[in-house]
Amino acid sequence: MATLHLINKSPTRSDALASCLRVLAPGDALLLIEDGVYAAVADSTGSQALVGHVCHALAADVAARGLQARLADGVRVIDEAGFVDLCVHCDRVMSWF
Amino acid sequence: MRFAIVVRSGPASSQSSRSALRFTQAVLAAGHDVHRVFFHGDGTYNANALSVVPQDEEDLSASWAALGREHDLDLVICVASALKRGMLDASEADRYERPAASVRPEFVISGLGQLADAALDADRLVTFGG
């Protein structure tokens, strides 16, 4: 019973990501959207916390912030269609604020 | 698969209304059903018929309304959230003796029961905003 966790806030402005990581279960997926994509920047405290987890970032939000070349290894960049597919493949979707 | 979408932010206050709109378009493009879009809290501002948006910005309220017309979507705004923000349809404006209605005709004012119903009936509930 996998859950897709949605994070839309920067880890420097909100503890949503930290709260989420405390309950993330094996098999769960994480999707960073809006300012949440800042967590995927390489060598940041956000991306260090993501090591070992399946992490996706929304392409349009990454591009809007100019972060395409600055993402940590292993972060999977997906578009809105990929977002929908993730929702289908997981059993439920949980948004963290 | 049936999706229900919750929008908790207004078009002028954060990126989340745009995120929810893009996601809803992608759900429809993938051939899935959108059971309902429920607008709660500041999300009710997405139904505003009176907002005037600069020409170089997307009018998200108009985009939601157009998507609703195109796909016959059930666009519901929470009544308790809506009334205190001045989001009134013609009958509410008449009931409370206000000078104008402010809700686009593509949106319906209803209660939180519609959110509970959407959560039960849809296969996936996806929330934007916060």
Select from B70, B3, B66, B11 the least CA-distant residue to B37.
B3
* Alpha-carbon distance A47 to nearest alpha carbon in chain B (angstroms): 22
For residue range B34-88, what is the model confidence (pLDDT) as tens digits? 999 999 999 999 999 999 999 999 999 999 999 999 999 999 999 999 999 999 9
Share of chain A above pLDDT 90, in %: 87
* Alpha-carbon distance B116 to nearest alpha carbon in chain A (angstroms): 15
Q: Do B129 and A97 touch (CB under 8 A)?
A: yes
> Is B78 among the catalytic positions?
yes
CA distances from B47 to A6, A40, B5, B106, B122 (A): 25, 34, 15, 8, 22
Q: Do A92 and B129 touch (CB under 8 A)?
A: no
* pLDDT (average), residues B92-104: 97
Out of 3.10.129.10, 3.40.1260.10, 3.40.1350.10, 3.40.50.300, which CATH number does the structure's domain B2-128 have? 3.40.1260.10
Q: Do B1 and A88 touch (CB under 8 A)?
A: yes
Give the position of tokens 């009176």.
B50
Name the amino acid, one letter, at B23.
Answer: F
The answer on pLDDT for A47 being more than 90 is: no
pTM of the model: 0.96
Given CA atoms B102, B108, B114, B117 in this order, what sign does their dihedral have?
Answer: negative
Interface ipTM: 0.96
Nearest to B26 among A9, A81, A93 (CB): A81
Instruction: Please state which CATH number belongs to domain A3-96.
Output: 3.40.1260.10
What is the domain partition of chain B in residue ranges? 2-128
Q: Do A6 and B126 touch (CB under 8 A)?
A: yes
What is the domain partition of chain A in residue ranges? 3-96
Nearest to B30 among A35, A81, A97 (CB): A81
Catalytic residue (choose from B78, B88, B103, B109): B78
* pLDDT (average), residues A68-95: 97
Evaluate whether B50 touches B102 at the Cβ level (below 8 Å): yes
Give the position of tokens 């990581």.
A21
**What is the rounded CA–CA span in Å between residue B10 and residue B130?**
10
Evaluate whether A86 touches A29 at the Cβ level (below 8 Å): yes
